[in-house]
Every structure is written in C-alpha cells, then in structure tokens.
A and B are shown apart, each in its own frame.
Chain A
Amino acid sequence: MSNIITNDSIRCAVATTGLYNVYDPEIGLNVVDLGLIYQIDFDEAAKQIHATMTLTTQFCPMGDSIVSNVIQSLGESFSDFEPHVYLTFEPPWSHNRISEAGQEFLSR
C-alpha cells in the first residue's frame, strides 16, 4: 500500500482512502502516492488523529492548501476524531518516497 507509519493499520487504511483524493495541484498526484504522509497515529482516549507529513519543497507555494486539505480529509474520514497535522522537513521529502503507482503516473 504505502510507507506510512501508524499505530492502527485498519484506521490508517481508511484515512489513506480519503487522502488519495487530496492532490498536489502542480504535480497532479495525490499526497499518498507522492509520499508526503509520514505517519498517522490515532489517540483513542483523546479522540485525536496525529498526522505527520512533509511537502516536496519547503515553502512550497501550494503547501498551505495541501495541508488544509489533509486536515479536512482526515476530519471527513473520522468525524468523531479531531485531526492534528504536523509539518516536518526532517527527513526532507525525496523522490524515493513516490509509490510505484505514482512513478507510473509520472512516467506517462
């Protein structure tokens, strides 16, 4: 599927299904296949989702929009959870994070 770290693989699969519809508008590829999502953890007790993600480049002009839509997508997938998204550039995004499906899309 993807290389996302999680403490709840079943819920993560649900979250990922929603995130497949969030796109990097410049590249035209979704954030999962692009490898922007590093980690999604679920805190059952606090009813919170903690997602850690990156961008293809720091200060990406579309970054604000992409992050907003990741938050929105997680909120829609789990209406009883409060989504928190953390942006990190350590480690920075690299081409190796693009999934096979993503590589295929870009090589068309």
Chain B
Amino acid sequence: MFGGGGLGGMQQTTSYKVVLPFYAYAALSFLVACILLLFHTNLADQHYFFPGTLSITHLMALGWCTMIIMGASHQLVPVLIEGKLASERLAFLSFLFCALGIPLLVCGFYEFNTGWPLQTGAILINLGVICFLANMLSSVVQSKQRDVHSWYMAAASLWLFSTTFFGLLLVFNFQNPLLPKGSVSYLSLHAHMGLAGWFLLLVIGVASRLIPMFLISKYTNRKRLWWVFGLVNGGLITFILMRLAGLNTFWYYVPLLMVLAAILLFAGYCRAAYKVRIRKNVDAQVNISLISVAQMLLPLIALAGILVLKPEHQTETVLVYGFCIFFGWLSALIMGMTFKTLPFIVWNKVYHHKAHASAAPAPKELFNEKIFGLMKKLYLAGFVVFIAGIFLKTQWLLILGASALLLAAILYVTNVGITLTHKPKS
C-alpha cells in the first residue's frame, strides 16, 4: 500500500556547523555596512563610482546578502532539489574563502587601493564562489528530481560565478588593461548579472518553494515558474548583448519589461498561494518576506527613471536604485527569512530529540519577538527617510534615515546573537 519505507532518507539535512557561520558573518557585515552608511551620508552627492559607495555596496552585496543566501542555500538545497547537499567540506571552504576575501575587497575599495588588497580579495571570493558553484551543481546532478527549482538553483549559482569572475576581471583591469574599455564602462553589466542572475533568480526559486510551504498552501504552478525563469534569464541575456553591442538606451526597455513581467508573474504566484493557504495566521517573518516581493518593483521604477531622466538627474536615481535593492528588497527579505530559518537550525541543534509538547519551546520562541517588531519599524522608517533624503538632498534626513537603519541593524544582530546562543532551560 505504501511505497518502500526505511530511514534511508533521514540524516540528509545539512549540519548546523556549516550553516551558522554564514548567518553570523552576514549579521556583522550588515552592522558594519550600516555604520559606514551613517558616516558616508555625503554619498548622495557623489557619483556611484565613489570609494564609500563601492565599499558599502560590496559589503551589502557580498558580506550581507550573498553570505546569508549562500548559508541558507546549503540548508535549503535538500528541500529545493529533493536531494542531499553534495559536500559539507566544500560549503566550509566557500565560507572560508569568502570570509577572508570580502574584508580585503571592501577595504581595497574604501582606500581605493587597486593593488593587492582588491586583487587578493577578488581572487579569494572567486575561490569561495567556485566551491559554492561546484557544490550546488553536484547536488543538482546527484538529485533524483530535476524540478524547476533545481534549474533556478543551478542557473543562479552560474550567474553568481559569472558576476564574481567578471568582477575579478574588472579589478585586474584597473592596473592591466584586459578589457577593451575602462572598468567603469562595464559596471552595469557586472551589477545586473549579480542582481537579476544571482539574487532575483535565487530568491524567486527559493521563495516559490518556501512560501507555499510556510503558508501550507495547495497552490502550485510550475508552468508559471518556468515562464518567470525564462523571462529573467532572457531579459538578462538580452541586456548583456545590447550593452555589448552598444545599442541606444531606448532598447533597454525590452529587458526591463521582460524582468518586470517576470516579477509580476511571481507576485501573482505568491498572491495565489496566499489566497488558498490553509494556515490562516501568517507570522510576522513571512509577512515581511511577502512585503519584500512588492519591494521588488521599486528598483524597476527607479530603473525606468534612469532611462527617462536627463543625465544630471541620474546620479540620485542610480543611488535610489541600488539602495532600494540592497537596503530595501533584499534586506527586508533577509530580515524576515533569518528569523524563519535560523531558529529552526538552532532548534534542531539544541532540541533534536525533544519535540514532545512539554520538552521544548517552539522555534519561534528562540528569538525575541519584541526586538523583532521594533527592528521592523526602525528598518521601514529608516528606509523611507533615507530615500527621501537622497531625492531632497537633505543631509539631516540622510543622517536620520541612516541612524534608524543602524539601530535596526543593532537589533537584528542582538536577536541573531540571542538565537545563536540559545541554551535549553534546565
């Protein structure tokens, strides 16, 4: 009556020892990035190729967003691809290389020293990403199912490597001309490989699996997910080809509309899953993640603004674009999902054999909900005020917004610390 049983499928989850360092590292990176933001609120008046902006952007993109997403991927890949993570050793190596490389890269940008710190940092990060890519591709190849989620995982990992490898070329291009033009000319290519190829594709791939799971929703629509996959990849490849061909900016609306269509289709997917959910009481962590789906649209509006506006107004719009992505969409998503995934990893470590009703607290009790609520309010206030500060070019608004974001980061780190150091009550 029932298919072949046994416990062969057990012990397939990734060890907490591999995953937790990524979370701790990312939390500290977010804190440092918010401190840097507070001390560099003058970046609103500068071109985006400015040491302060470059260092904050790379700390947010690599130290905060990529590190936590890589850590969570090691934990979630078995759920996504219905197979085991290929190697915990590779996962550890990817952490080690990236953890050493990111500070060097960020310091290199901060000092604008294009010599050894920047170059060594970029090499180490690429080594870490190669370990991650090899681990993800091996996991996908070894898994029995080749579902749409496996394709998202594989493609996103490939785009991450493309981004960091291209970044490595740009770093070396500063001192030895490897590319036909200067590195600044290729920044938009490098950035969008990472933004659309790595972050967007991976977030959609993971969220499309986890959101229905967390909501206990009956909704599933693989055809729609394939369309989203095609539109994001197609839009990105079209953009790269147009950029290399040097086409008029008018044509950039084509990839922009493709990615917009993908995001709208994905938002519709989340809405449909939400409507038919069995679990009516949606917790704050999932709610903040659903808000982040709506936040995906803000950068696209800013991007349309960049295409429409005259060059003299483009600087602040580019800043808003980057800010909406790293401090908006990705940060909201990560803040929500941290306290949806981290307590379970720690719970599994501490209460592995105590799932009886009275023996263990619920995983959501491993972090402080009051701190989480206050963090959410400060974060949203800081995000809105800082954007207003960029547009209005008002220094006190920028300082106020950055201060609120820093306080939110302190609360986030505190709550991560509370969760990581949780001990069972005797």
Contact = CB atoms under 8 A, between A and B. Distances in A.
Interface of A: 5, 21-23, 25-28, 30, 38-39, 52, 56-69, 72-73, 85-91, 95, 98, 103, 106-108
A89 B352 contact: no
Given A67-B10, A72-B353, A107-B278, A26 B82 contact: no
Given A61-B75, A86-B7, A87-B10, A23 B344 contact: no
Contacts of A26: 214, 344, 363
A57 B363 CA distance: 18
Contact of B9 (A58, A61, A108): A58
Contact of A89 (B3, B10, B354, B356): B3
B357 A59 contact: no
A20 B173 CA distance: 64
B355 A52 contact: no
Interface of B: 1-13, 75-76, 78-79, 82-84, 213-214, 216, 218, 278-281, 344-345, 347-348, 351-358, 360, 362-363
Contact of B279 (A27, A57, A63, A88): A27
Contacts of B7: 67, 85-87
Q: Say whether chain B's binding surface is mostly helix, strand, loop, or mixed.
A: loop
B216 A95 contact: yes
Given A26-B344, A87-B7, 11 more contacts: A39-B2, A52-B5, A56-B216, A59-B83, A59-B84, A61-B344, A67-B7, A86-B2, A88-B4, A89-B3, A90-B3
B22 to A, nearest CB: 15
A21 B359 CA distance: 10
Nearest to A50: B5
Contacts of A98: 278
A95 to B, nearest CB: 5
